[in-house]
Amino acid sequence: MGQTCYNCFSGINGANPCPVCGYDNAAEGDRGMALPLGTILHDGFFVGRVLGQGGFGITYLGYELHSKRRIAIKEYFPSGSVLRAGSRVQPTNPDNGAFFRRGLELFNKEAQILSRLSGQPNIVDVISFFFENNTGYFVMEFLEGNSLKDYLAIRGGRISFQEALTLLLPTMEALDTVHHEGMLHRDIAPDNIFITSDGVAKLIDFGAARFRREDETKSVRTIVKPGYAPMEQYTSQAAQGPWSDVYAMGATIYRAITGITPLDAPTRAMNDELRSPAQLGCQLPNNADYAIMRALSPRIVFRFASIAEFIAALTKPDALYESENVQKLILNSRPSGDLSIFGMTERYRLRATEISPTKTLNPEASWLTTMRDQYDQTTGDDPEIPGPPPSESPKRKIEDIWFLAALIICAVLLFLIIFGIFRNYSQRWIISGLRLPLPGVMSGARFGS
């Protein structure tokens, strides 16, 4: 392409900054482990400046030579596990080889799933994916606008609940679609939701979605985003599922409307003092206040099972909950014991008095088992799911009545014997007159027999 601006891809013929977009091409400087500027990938994609680099990949601004449009190029490049020799990517040592290959397979699977979702207005479109330089790439639409993080900063730090709902509800519905495809995002936060110049929110950066390794401490920690990552992402021994993205989405909405990022999950698990949006002065319906706080529960079983359930609770006007009950729910959700197995062996039951009951949001269920089977990533014991207390059986009630009757008879007999009212009659007559042999009386008086 000759001398080209690495931002707008116009010909600049040595001029700097770019006379078209004003970009300072000299600012690129040392690109570290990134591909060299001007690299041509897959015979059609020109590599420009770096847009971002995370724990598992590098994203470049690119230019599609055939369609003459700007694009984004994602390269699989797990930081700390690989190095670059020229353009070729290779593991740093043989021990990282299996991890790299497995990650590459999942990177490709992610690209395939996202390409199937192309056309979904609230998920970034994947145009192409391919293998080259001993690693994987996928090409996405280039978005113009701001991340939700920057959007909030421009708006003074926070927005109204209604504006947040208008922006994020379509994104939540898109996330539910992703879950039904068998994939989790696992890195939802304001910097991974993009607001386009025409006001459409899109989910971006599914880089953490494919990494569910349970034997690699580093990979678990790399994808943890304090304030947004749920407790189960801090340990490899707790099941992750749609409920994990529910927490992150709840934290994102909380940040958007309050201007406050929740404390990290381990801190909240030990001493939770998170105040609800309503308590912080936000104007929102009671049901929405409840829904956000329930989504943010450190304990898995107190959260919504799916994004669809979260949406229903967030938007249903007749599901009314008081803020004080929301706080009781959260304060009652503190764990005990070893946090490394939090959420899987901790057993607990939500008291019926802690939450205002509704038939639409009754927390009974088999959802945890169902979701775990779907995602096949469970270890440890099953947590006890809150539900209605068991009803007393008729047999137990009858036994209690007989016990009470026997107790009364014994008391009357004792009274008569003590005061000698029946002094002229033998004790044998008393027992036989009742037509109930002594062993029978004692048997009837035995609780639970």
pLDDT for 385: 33
Long-range contacts (CB closer than 8 Å, 24 or more residues apart) made by 23-26: 23/49
Contact 193, 201 (CB under 8 A): yes
Between 53 and 325, whose confidence is greater? 53
Chain-wide mean pLDDT for the chain?
76
Check pLDDT > 60 for residue 213: no
Encoding tokens for residue 244?
């994990």
Residues 356-368: tens digit of each pLDDT? 333 333 333 333 3
pLDDT for 419: 60
Residues 186-195: tens digit of each pLDDT? 899 999 999 9
Give the residue among 393, 390, 399 at the shortest CA–CA distance from 448.
Answer: 399
pLDDT interval class at 236 (50, 70, 90):
confident
Check pLDDT > 70 for residue 70: yes
Check pLDDT > 50 for residue 344: no
pLDDT for 422: 45
Angle, CA of 178, 179 and 181, to the nearest 5° = 65
Mean pLDDT lowest among 2-11, 221-230, 312-321, 324-333: 324-333
Check pLDDT > 60 for residue 222: no
Check pLDDT > 50 for residue 58: yes
- Whole-angstrom distance, CA of residue 135 vs CA of residue 103: 10
Check pLDDT > 70 for residue 209: no
Contact 168, 295 (CB under 8 A): no
Under CATH, which number does the domain 31-142 receive?
3.30.200.20
* The CATH homologous superfamily of the domain defined by 145-213+221-327: Transferase(Phosphotransferase) domain 1 (1.10.510.10)
Distances (CA, A) of 339 to 233, 330, 382: 12, 17, 16
Mean pLDDT in residue range 28-33: 80
What is the pTM (predicted TM-score) of this model? 0.68
pLDDT for 392: 47
pLDDT for 260: 98
Distance of CA 406 to the CA centre of its chain: 56
Rg for the chain, CA atoms, rounded: 31
- Whole-angstrom distance, CA of residue 361 vs CA of residue 348: 19
Check pLDDT > 70 for residue 449: no
Angle, CA of 334, 340 and 343, to the nearest 5° = 50
Check pLDDT > 80 for residue 89: yes
Give the residue among 120, 127, 146, 106 at the shortest CA–CA distance from 62.
Answer: 127
* pLDDT more than 70, % of the chain: 70
Give the residue among 240, 221, 211 at the shortest CA–CA distance from 103.
Answer: 211
pLDDT for 322: 40
Mean pLDDT lowest among 186-200, 204-218, 224-238: 204-218
Distance of CA 344 to the CA centre of its chain: 15
Check pLDDT > 70 for residue 198: yes
Domain boundaries, the chain: 31-142, 145-213+221-327
Check pLDDT > 70 for residue 380: no
Residues 241-260: tens digit of each pLDDT? 999 999 999 999 999 999 99
- SS in 3 state form for 203-257? ECCCCCCCCCCCCCHHHHHHCCCCCCCCHHHHCCCCCCCHHHHHHHHHHHHHHHH
- H-run or E-run covering 167: helix 161-180
Mean pLDDT in residue range 109-122: 87
